[in-house]
């Protein structure tokens, strides 16, 4: 079950005369601001994304904790973080803030994630071809020497971590899951 809380940036006038900030810089800054808040609430900051959707710009945080997160967890982080972002985040555009559970297609954003979720199926997209392709779906074998190892159709593929643009678990059912069996 995916739980969300959406909050609009309150004071758009603060951002009118600010220099252009890149999406990557925004994501880095949001991570820096959100990580200590999440830790203080006993939550793991899983992933941060920022992009344009039909409803406008979205800054989306995925958070989790053992046993799963509740709507109340999302609401608390959202209410606290929007104030922190209003003061510390310099954008020249308004945005919506969403705080959500990772869901069944949990993002994999850190090298540790590929160790933690060994044995699960993942979809990975790369910025340039690896062994002639950019999209992969396979069983995670782990993270070794800056490479994510996958079993794709009984073939081991080593994907350079720095080339990964998107990685998500495929049909993940939580911590008490049945691992993929051949």
Q: Quick: pLDDT tens for 77-121.
A: 999 999 999 889 877 788 899 999 988 889 998 999 999 999 999
Residue 34's domain spans which residues? 4-100
Question: Could you tell me if residue 122 is inside a domain?
Answer: yes
Query: Is 178 a member of any domain?
Result: no
Judge if 116 and 78 occupy the same domain.
no
157 and 84 both lie in a single domain: no
**Going edge to edge, which strands form the sheet with 96-100?**
4-8, 96-100, 56-64, 44-53
| CA 72 – CA 148 distance, rounded (Å) | 35
Q: What is the pLDDT of residue 89?
A: 85
The predicted structure's pLDDT at residue 67: 86
pTM of this structure: 0.72
Q: Assign 46 a pLDDT band (cuts: 50, 70, 90).
A: very high
Question: Looking at the chain, how many residues does it have?
Answer: 182
In a shared domain, residues 137 and 158: yes
For residue 105, report the phi and psi dihedrals to the nearest 5 degrees: -110, 50
Q: Give domain status of residue 179, yes or no.
A: no
Q: Which has the higher per-residue pLDDT, 99 or 4?
A: 99
> Do 64 and 38 contact (CB within 8 A), yes or no?
no
Statement to judge: residues 28 and 88 lie in one domain: yes
Q: What is the mean pLDDT of residues 69-83?
A: 94
pLDDT > 70? residue 125: yes
Give the sign of the dihedral formed by CA 157, CA 162, CA 165, CA 169.
Answer: positive
- Residue 6: the pLDDT is 42
Collect all residues with Cβ–Cβ distance below 8 Å to 163 and sequence separation of at least 6. Answer: 126, 127, 128, 130
């Amino acid at each position: 079950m995916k739980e969300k809380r959406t909050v609009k940036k309150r004071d758009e006038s603060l951002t009118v005369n600010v220099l252009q900030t890149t999406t990557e810089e925004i994501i880095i800054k949001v991570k820096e601001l959100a990580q200590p808040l999440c830790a203080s609430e006993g939550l793991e900051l899983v992933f941060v994304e920022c992009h344009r959707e039909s409803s406008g710009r979205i800054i989306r945080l995925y958070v989790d904790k053992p046993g799963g997160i509740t709507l109340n967890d999302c609401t608390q982080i959202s209410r606290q973080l929007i104030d922190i972002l209003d003061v510390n985040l310099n954008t020249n555009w308004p945005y919506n803030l969403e705080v959500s559970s990772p869901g069944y297609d949990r993002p994999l954003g850190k090298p540790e994630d590929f160790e933690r979720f060994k044995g699960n199926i993942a979809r990975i997209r790369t910025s340039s071809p690896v062994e002639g392709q950019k999209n992969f779906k396979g069983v995670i074998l782990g993270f070794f020497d800056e490479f994510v190892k996958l079993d794709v159709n009984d073939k081991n593929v080593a994907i350079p971590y720095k080339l990964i643009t998107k990685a998500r678990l495929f049909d993940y059912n939580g911590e008490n899951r049945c691992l993929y069996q051949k």
